[in-house]
Amino acid sequence: MSAITFVASVAVLLVASVIIFPSDGVTEDILAAICSQTQNQETCEAILESDPRTSSADLPLLSLISLELTSKQADKNHNSFVQFRDNSTDPDLKKSLGNCVTHYNDMRGKIKVAHQLSHKRQYKRIFMNLAS
């Protein structure tokens, strides 16, 4: 699973958790429960715990943190694909990499909208945004 797919799936799980389990703080048990639904619980927890705000976050803040981490990874991946595309001399490869750049542009826009909706605590609308 790619890093962006992994982090995005965590973001979706967190948004779902905010809807289902509103809380005043994210305990280790809740973080473990969220991350246990991913393909690699340890990596999920490590990614989320890499942000110092996670240790004192409630679920709404954890949703924002996960979307910010997703955004950073999407930006890194986008920049890599732009460089690969720009440095490619093979026309077919250049076209394929251009498609990746386009998809990452679309994804970055959806992540930005999801982040704005999460700030407004409009979690159910995030699913509609990601599905479109």
| Residues 27-48, mean pLDDT to the nearest whole number | 88
pLDDT value of residue 1: 44
Domain ranges of the chain: 3-131
**3-class state of residue 36 by DSSP:** coil
Q: Which amino acid is at 29?
A: D
Mean confidence (pLDDT) of the chain: 84
> Cα–chain-centroid distance for residue 103?
15
DSSP state at residue 23: -
Closest CA to 15 of 70, 86, 87: 70
| Residues 74-91, mean pLDDT to the nearest whole number | 96
In 1-132, where do the E strands start and end?
none
pLDDT tens for each residue of 62-80: 989 999 998 999 999 999 9
**3-class state of residue 38 by DSSP:** coil
**pLDDT of 12 above 50:** yes
| Residues 128-132, mean pLDDT to the nearest whole number | 73
**3-class state of residue 51 by DSSP:** coil
Give the percent of the chain with pLDDT over 90. Answer: 45
CATH numeric code, 3-131: 1.20.140
pLDDT value of residue 22: 52
pTM, rounded to two decimals: 0.76
* Window from 4-18, 77-91, 112-126 with minimum mean pLDDT: 4-18
pLDDT tens for each residue of 95-110: 999 999 999 999 999 9
